[in-house]
Amino acid sequence: MTAVKKFLVVALYLAALVFVPASSFAQQQLLSDPEIYEKDHFRQQCGTADFGPDFIRRFDINNDGIIDAVANHAELTCNGAKGSACDEDGCPYNFYLQAKEGGYFMIATARIYGYDFVKYFGNMVFMLKMHPRFCDRTDTEPCVMRVRVRGGRFVTISKK
């Protein structure tokens, strides 16, 4: 299977968060660097691919002291169209953990409006902002889901 096909299989965007089961961690191939992986993918997909300064953010997302990565596809300009994968549900974000042995693996893909990374009871957690229907609401105020990364998966703490 080509790298592009592997990426497309992993990055299928659902209407809500897609969580990769912890059991699949052992089956995933480690990436040397998610930034290189993502940029190479879009350079093949797009005739011209430009990446904004926040396309990749690197920080410790699971509180283990190792720097991880988040790819923000809203920062991609593909053939002159910025954020072409974004829609009314938000933009795709890919979340990668760095393994202690080296290399990265994707733990989740989410279609969200954005996120904050805040301290909550001593641990850093994501405050994911997304379409209100993901909180079973019909109003226009974005749903805010508090999520922490435990092991190799997202765990929802609360949503409102």
- Residue 152's pLDDT is 86
pLDDT at 24: 41
pLDDT value at residue 151 = 83
Residue whose token pair is 């080509």: 2
| Extents of the domains making up the chain | 3-159
Predicted pLDDT of residue 29: 80
- Residue 17's pLDDT is 35
Quickly state the pLDDT bin for 6 (edges 50, 70, 90). Answer: very low
The 3-class SS string of 37-83 reads: HHHHHHHHHCCCEEECCCCEEEECCCCCCCCEEEEEHHHEEECCEEC
| pLDDT value of position 2 | 46
pLDDT in tens, 135-144: 999 999 999 9
Contact yes or no for 65/90 (Cβ under 8 A) = no
DSSP string across 124-135: EEEEEEE-GGGG
- Integer Cα distance of 71 and 7 in angstroms: 13
14-23: per-residue pLDDT in tens? 223 333 333 3
Amino acid found at 82: K
Looking at the predicted structure, is the pLDDT value of residue 4 above 70? no
* Dihedral pair phi/psi, residue 58, rounded to 5°: -115, 120
Specify the pLDDT at position 114: 96
What's the pLDDT tens digit per position in 75-129? 999 999 999 999 999 999 999 999 998 899 999 999 999 999 999 888 899 999 9
Other CB atoms within 10 A of residue 109 CB: 20
26 vs 64 pLDDT, higher one? 64
Report the mean per-residue pLDDT for the chain: 84
- The larger pLDDT score, comparing residue 6 to residue 154, is at 154
Give the pTM. Answer: 0.80
Beta strands across the sheet bearing 153-159 = 114-120, 123-130, 143-150, 153-159
pLDDT band at 28 (very low <50, low <70, confident <90, very high): low
